[in-house]
Chains A and B, each alone.
Chain A
Amino acid sequence: MGVKLLLEKAHVENIRLYDVYRREGGYRSVEKALKTMSPDAIVEEVKKSGLRGRGGAGFPAGMKWSFIAKPEGVPRHLVCNADESEPGTFKDRYLMEFIPHLLIEGLIVSSYALGSNDTYIYIRGEYAWIVDILEQAITEAKNNGWLGKNILGSGFDCNIHVQRGAGAYICGEETALIESLEGKRGNPRIKPPFPAVKGVWDRPTVVNNVETLSAVVPIINMGGEEYAKIGVGRSTGTKLISACGNINKPGVYEIDMTISVEEFIYSDEYCGGIANGKRLKACIPGGSSVPILPANLLLKTAKGETRYMNYESLSDGGFATGSMMGSGGFIVLDEDQCVVKNTYTLARFYRHESCGQCSPCREGTGWMEKILHNIECGKGKMTDIDLLWDIQRKIEGNTICPLGDAAAWPVAAAIRHFRDEFEWHVLHPEEAQKRNYGLAHYADPIHVPV
């Protein structure tokens, strides 16, 4: 059994209710922070913990907090990014749905550290019922003196507002989220200026993921140094992984980033192996936008070492032979899945979600979708594969926000690792309609250069 920090109490009966949460040791971190620590000390503690942003990019949270500008007389804001829309990622939903007070607790401590008197939770529109859960938790917290004016006599005022989005993936990008929060069209802003300088209503703003802010609670409770001892290297603490796809036990798992990918997929404690006794073909280890990996490269790095479930190990080998930790949406594909169809589905998603602001992403995502649709329907040409590669290359890095990259990477990785499956689709269009390419050589041991 690995260490559990976030989900430790998630299955206590009625933990959603304040009384139960408090009885189980909830809101201790607020007491500790507001009574004994200064805001800077909290930032320092988070820095020491080595906590990295859990939303996908993995940027050190303490560092992000220390960048916030502090001009005199200008209010600062903390915004919680609960616009979890990445296909395959559902960890924040789990946290907010089952243990909402953990997020509220983390938000109070973080707001105190950043000096945010008005803190916002921007939640995706589809999580309609979670809004009610959060609102109830906020009301309970307020009634018990954890929110409002002069919390615990510290002189610190804090209110938390829940804002529902309208269900756009792009509003998970922090500047688009800020625009949407302000009531505008959710178009990402051009950086710089960064939100830490000019965010919501041009005020300094920090945007953090739900899981990141929840992780502040154990950091304050146990101390940053203690927290940093969990995990390995720069991947400290625990990470929620939402596993889905062809596995026996889909769900949200808390791991301490020291286990291997193989253990995570096959051990009964986590995914419980591939469903129906089939074999593993491929996996998207960090949510739909990170590169897909074939089974052989997923379990072992190109150097032949075991791959672990942490930031460094998953990205070992760069994009040529590695992937990314991303937001922790672990999507497993078994031998009967078609990578072409999977890539087409993802391309369709990104085409639909592109905000249409900058041209490479607006036009390129639609083009890629159309080509992939052709290949999938047996109307593809050999040159289409190279064309796809060229299109993704021209989108990547040339857009305002990372959505362009997110749309380009899955296509690039699918072609890079599964090119023969694409070619098979093109060469045998009729057969490709009837059966799948199968596992082929994707699980064969890789040749390790000596």
Chain B
Amino acid sequence: MSEQPLFKVTIDNITIEVPAGTTILQAARKIGGEVAPPAMCYYSKLQGSGGKCRTCLVEVSKGSEKDPRPMPKLVASCRTTVMDGMEVKNITSPKVQDARAGVVEFLLLNHPLDCPICDQAGECHLQDLSYEHGKEGTRFEFQKRTFHKVDLGDKIQLHMTRCILCYRCVFTADQLTKEREHGVLDRGDHAQIATFIQKNLQNDFIGNVIDVCPVGALTDKTFRFKNRVWFTKPVDAHRNCSNPDCCGEVQLWMRGDEVFRVTARKDEWGEIKEASNGKTGWICNECRFEKKDVKDWVIEGPTKVNRHSVISQGHYVGVTKPNETFSAVMKGRDPKLLMDIHSVSEVNKPNIELSLLDRPAHSTDFNQS
């Protein structure tokens, strides 16, 4: 890779050097944080994915060092490769924010918003996206498009009403399994993911379509309605899977000693992680659907979950609960208003950035240095 030239690209005024051929989205993900545009259809592990949902639109204010003209339209950052000296605006461009709000609105038009009864709630990309970029309320005053629920085999259920047509499952089935048995039928807003004439999806790796689905359109029938994801605790585990293409490294979603669900491990962008042997961490149906007993697995320890995630609510790891009660600390006073004094207090060292911690602040954080 050393012969590949490095390109300098500036995204939201942050400059980074990336190899030629990197997409704007990948470069932005290297910077991380809010600079990375959201992506609903792009999946770095699937070839040909991306470009469809339009949530990752960015403004290219300078094409490259050689050709500094800005690009006339907003471009899909997941499918546009960087050029040397390119300047990209994501969160700093009002145009992008406006277009993205529009896309979120479009995506939610026909989405049922049945999050309270949806198994994906809590780990749903569309939920995150609409919290971050959507508006309260809707301007859509018509009946939404609906479909009947369809069982794709005995393990997967397709609820087309929730689908945002990202095509990820189609690419997954295309690239992971020997034969693709489902695709997109019809067109426009009545297009649907379907197996032609309700065929079963029977393939060793077809379960991965559940993991790649950004919404709750494809759900695990062995987990449906069993629990909410934020009540279960993700635990890293592995087993020696006999399937040569299966990495055997998974996340168990447990409550107590009971394994409710098995999924592949995901990275901070919600994509399948690379396994320790360098392979992409796809897992086979046997690991996913059959092995629901702790005895089947070698437990590695709790998954590190970003503390901003709803999944980490209620179960921080390695945190000791303070012994003092609130009233004892307040010495009997009953405050009418509580406010964050960290930023103004000299005592608590305001130079310590609490948001950088991935757990609640502790006295040790203030005592160091």
A358-B53, A367-B109, A394-B99 are known contacts. Are A190 and B79 too (CB-CB below 8 A)? yes
Q: Kindly state whether residue A75 has any CB partner on chain B within 8 Å.
A: no
User: Is A168's beta carbon under 8 Å from chain B?
Assistant: yes
Q: Which of B147-155, B187-195, B214-222, B337-345 contacts A (4 or more CB under 8 A)?
A: B187-195
A356 to B183, CA, bound (A): 13
Q: Are A359 and B188 closer than 8 Å at their CB atoms?
A: no
Number of interface residues of B (CB under 8 A): 35
Does A52 lie at the interface of the complex (its beta carbon under 8 Å from any beta carbon of B)?
Answer: no
With A and B bound together, what is the CA distance between A370 and B139 in angstroms?
12
B118 partner residues in chain A, CB cutoff 8 A? none
Which residues of chain B come closer than 8 Å to A370, judged between CB atoms? 142
Contact indicator B165/A397 (Cβ below 8 Å): no
Q: A359-B106, A394-B106 are in contact. Are A351 and B54 (CB under 8 A)?
A: no
Closest residue of chain B to A185, judged by CB?
A: B184
Once the chains are docked, how many angstroms separate the CA of A30 from the CA of B200? 55
Docked CA distance A185–B54 (Å): 20
Q: Are A185 and B183 in contact (CB under 8 A)?
A: yes
Q: Across the interface, do A387 and B188 meet the contact criterion of CB distance under 8 Å?
A: no
Smallest Cβ-Cβ distance to A170: which chain B residue: B187
List of B residues within 8 angstroms of A394 by Cβ? 98-99, 102-103, 105-106
In the complex, which residues of chain B have a beta carbon less than 8 angstroms from the beta carbon of A363?
106-107, 109-110, 189
Residues of B within 8 A of A360 (CB): 54, 102-103, 106
A168–B187 CA distance with the chains assembled, in angstroms? 10
Query: Which of A354, A356, A393, A399 has the most C-beta atoms of chain B within 10 angstroms of its own C-beta?
Result: A356
B191 & A356 in contact (Cβ 8 Å cutoff): yes
The answer to whether B139 and A387 touch across the interface, beta carbons within 8 angstroms, is: yes
CB distance from A123 to the nearest CB of B (A): 20
Query: B335 → chain A, closest Cβ, in Å?
Result: 45
Instruction: Scan A94-110; emit 1 where CB is below 8 A from any B CB, else 0.
Output: 00000000000000000
Q: Are B184 and A356 in contact (CB under 8 A)?
A: yes
In the assembled complex, B140 has its CB within 8 A of some CB on chain A = yes
Against B, the Cβ 8 Å flags (1 = close, 0 = not) of A326-365 are: 0000000000000000000000000111111111101111
Question: Min CB distance, A276 to chain B, in Å?
Answer: 37
Taking CB atoms, residues of chain B closer than 8 Å to A304 are none
Contacts of B186 in A (CB 8 A): 356
Q: With A359-B164, A363-B107 given, is the CB distance from A398 to B54 under 8 Å?
A: yes
One digit per residue, 1 when the CB lies within 8 angstroms of any chain A CB and 0 when it does not, for chain B 157-192 equals: 000000011010000000000000001101111110
Whether A365 pairs with B189 at a CB distance below 8 angstroms is: yes
A17 within 8 A of B: no
A9 to chain B, nearest CB (A): 40
B52 within 8 A of A: yes
A214 to chain B minimum Cβ distance, whole angstroms, is 30
B106 in contact with A352 (CB, 8 Å)? no
B188–A353 CB distance below 8 A? yes
Chain B residues with CB under 8 A of A185: 183-184
Question: Chain B's nearest CB lies how many Å from the CB of A409?
Answer: 15
CA distance A363 to B145 in the complex (A): 10
CB of A58 within 8 A of chain B?
A: no
Given the complex of chains A and B, what is the CA–CA distance between A352 and B190 in angstroms? Answer: 9
| Known A-B contacts A190-B79, A364-B106; A354 and B54 likewise in contact (beta carbons under 8 Å) | no
Cβ-defined contact, B51 with A190, below 8 A: yes
B165 contacts A362, CB within 8 Å? yes
| Cβ A355 vs Cβ B74 within 8 A | no
Give the distance to chain A from B265, nearest Cβ to Cβ, in Å. 29
Which residues of A sit under 8 angstroms from B52, Cβ to Cβ? 357-359, 400
Hey, which chain B residues are within 8 Å of A395, CB to CB? Answer: 102
Closest Cβ of chain B to A99, distance in Å, is: 34
Query: Is B73's CB within 8 Å of the partner chain A?
Result: yes
* Contact of B57 with A by CB under 8 A: yes
User: Shortest beta-carbon distance, A400 to chain B, in Å?
Assistant: 6
- Which residues on A sit within 8 Å (CB–CB) of B102? 360, 393-395, 398
B76 on the interface (CB 8 Å rule)?
A: yes
| Binary per-residue interface labels of chain A (120-131) against chain B in the complex, 1 for a CB within 8 Å, 0 otherwise | 000000000000
Most buried by B among A168, A190, A354, A400: A190
Question: B51, A400: Cβ atoms under 8 Å?
Answer: yes
Residues of A contacting B164 in the complex (Cβ-Cβ under 8 angstroms): 359
**Interface residue A272 (Cβ < 8 Å from any Cβ of B):** no
**A366: which of B73, B105, B189 is its contact (CB, 8 Å)?**
B189
Q: Which residues of B contact A190 (CB under 8 A)?
A: 50-51, 76, 79
- Is B140 touching A354 in the complex (CB atoms < 8 A)? no
- The answer to whether A355 and B188 have CB atoms under 8 Å apart is yes
B151 to A: closest C-beta gap in Å: 23
Chain A residues with Cβ below 8 Å from B99 are 394, 398
B341-361: contact bitstring with A at CB < 8 Å (1 yes, 0 no)? 000000000000000000000
Known: A356-B165, A360-B103, A400-B52. A351 touches B183 (CB 8 A): no
A167 to chain B, nearest CB (A): 11
**Is the Cβ of B187 less than 8 Å from the Cβ of A355?**
yes
- The residue that B74 contacts in the complex, of A362, A365, A387, A397, with Cβ under 8 A, is A397
Residues of A contacting B74 with CB < 8 Å? Answer: 397-398
Which residues from 173 to 188 on chain A have a C-beta closer than 8 Å to any C-beta of chain B?
185
Query: 21 interchain pairs (CB within 8 A)?
Result: A185-B184, A190-B76, A190-B79, A351-B188, A356-B186, A356-B188, A356-B189, A356-B191, A357-B52, A358-B51, A358-B53, A359-B55, A359-B107, A359-B165, A360-B102, A360-B103, A363-B107, A366-B189, A394-B98, A394-B106, A398-B103
15 A-B pairs besides A355-B191, A363-B106, A394-B98 with CB distance below 8 A are A190-B50, A360-B102, A360-B106, A362-B106, A363-B107, A363-B109, A365-B189, A367-B142, A393-B102, A394-B102, A394-B106, A397-B73, A398-B99, A400-B52, A400-B76
